[in-house]
Structure 1
Amino acid sequence: MSPLAKTTERIPASVQASSVRRIWTAAWTITSVFVLSNSATPLYVRWQAEMGFSSGTLTLIFAAYIAGLLGTLLFAGRLSDRYGRKPVLFPGLAAAVIACFLFVSASTVAALLLARLLSGIAVGVIVSAGMASVMDVGGAARRTTASLAASVAMVLGAGLGPLLSGVLTETLADPIVAVYGAQLVILASAFIAVGSLPLPRYAPAGDGGRRLQLPSVPERNRRHLAFGIAVFAPGITATSFVLSLGPSLFSKLLGATSPLVSGGTACIMFLTATGIQFVLKKLPVRTLLLLGALATLLSMACTAAAVYASAVVPLVLAAMLAGAGQGLGQLGGLTLIGLHVPENRRAEANAVLNMGGYIPAALLSVGTGYLTDFAGLAPGATVFAAVLAAVSVGAMLAIGAKREFD
Structure 2
Amino acid sequence: MSRLIPVSLLALGLFTVTFAVNLQAPLYEVYAAQSDVGATAVTVAFAAYVGGLLPTLLLIGGLSDRIGRRVPIALALILGTVATALLVQVPSWASLVVARVLLGIGTGLATTAGTAYMTEILGASRARNAALVVTSATSLGFGGGALATGISLGVQGPTLLPASYIVLFVAAPVLALIALGLPRIDKPRPVSLLRLPVFPSGTWVFGAAMALAWSTTGMTIAVIPLELAANDLGGWTGLVIFLAIFMGFLCQPMARRMTNDRALALGFVLIPLGFLVLLVGVWLKVLTFVLVGTCITSAASYGFTYLAALAEVSLRAPDDRARATAGLFVYAYFGFSLPVIASGALADMLGLLSALVTFAAVQITVTAIIVLTWKRRAVPPAAAFDAG
Instruction: Work out whether the TM-score is over 0.5.
Output: yes
Task: Establish whether residue 232 from structure 1 lines up as the match of residue 207 from structure 2.
Answer: no
Contact 2:74 2:175 in 1 (8 A): no
Counterpart in the other structure of 2:197: 215
Q: Write out per-residue CA displacement over residues 39-73 of structure 1, whole angstroms, 9 at most, x where no aligned residue.
A: 11111122233332101100011011111111211
| Alignment check: 8 A CA contact 1:29 1:130 kept | no
Q: Distance in 1 between matches of 2:376 and 2:7?
A: 35
Determine the C-alpha separation between the residues in 2 that align with 1:372 and 1:249.
Answer: 10
Per the alignment, in what secondary structure is the counterpart of residue 74 of structure 1? helix
Partner of 2:114: 130
Asked whether the equivalents of residues 82 and 209 of structure 1 are also in contact (C-alpha less than 8 Å), the reply is yes
- Mapping 1:173-192, distance limit 5 Å: 173-177=157-161, 178-192=163-177
Q: Find the aligned partners of 1:400 and 1:196 in 2 and give their Cα distance.
A: 47
Q: CA deviation at 1:403?
A: 5.7
Distance 1:19 1:400, change over 3 A: farther
Q: Give me the whole-angstrom Cα distance separating, in 2, the residues matched to 1:322 and 1:199.
A: 38
Identity between Structure 1 and Structure 2 (%): 25
The answer to whether the 8 A contact 1:128-1:351 is kept is yes
Map of 1:331 onto structure 2: 307
Measure, in 2, the Cα distance between the counterparts of 1:139 and 1:369. 44
The amino acid of 1:215's aligned partner reads P
Contact 1:231/1:325 (<8 A) preserved: no
The amino acid that maps onto 2:220 is V
Q: Does 1:98 align with 2:98?
A: no
Question: Partner of 2:337 in structure 1?
Answer: 362
Segments of structure 2 that go 5 or more residues without pairing to the other structure are 380-388
Deviation at 1:210, TM superposition (A): 4.8
2:238 is the alignment partner of 1:256: no
Deviation at 1:203, TM superposition (A): 5.3
Calculate the aligned-residue CA RMSD, in Å.
2.0
Change (3 A) 1:174 1:200: same
Deviations 1:363-400 (CA, angstroms, capped at 9, x unpaired)? 10001001000011111111111112222223333444
> Offset at 1:313?
2.0
CA distance in 1, matches of 2:223, 2:6: 37
After superposition, give the CA deviation of every residue in 1:209-258 in whole Å (9 maximum; x if it has no partner). Answer: 256242224xxx2322x122122111111111111112111121x33132
Counterpart mapping for 1:12-27 below 5 A: 18-27=2-11
Counterpart amino acid of residue 380 in structure 1: A
Counterpart in 2 of 1:139?
123
Instruction: Give the match for residue 4 of structure 1.
Output: none
Report which stretch shifted further, 356-365 or 82-91: 82-91
Q: What are the residue-to-residue correspondences of 1:370-389 with 2, within 5 Å?
A: 370-389=345-364
Alpha-carbon distance in structure 1 between the residues aligned to 2:193 and 2:142:
34
Flag the 1:313–1:196 CA change in 2: closer, same or farther, 3 A. same
Retained in 1: the 8 A contact 2:48–2:97?
A: yes
SS at match of 1:339: helix
Do the aligned residues in 1 keep the contact of 2:32 with 2:93 (CA within 8 Å)? no
Letter in 1 for 2:297: A
Tell me the residue number matched to 2:39: 55
- One-letter identity of the residue aligned with 2:259: P
Q: 2:244 aligns with which of 269, 281, 296?
A: 269
Quote the residue 1:199 is aligned against. 184
Deviates more, 1:334-343 or 1:54-63: 334-343
Q: CA deviation at 1:401?
A: 4.8
Does residue 350 (structure 1) correspond to residue 328 (structure 2)? The answer is no
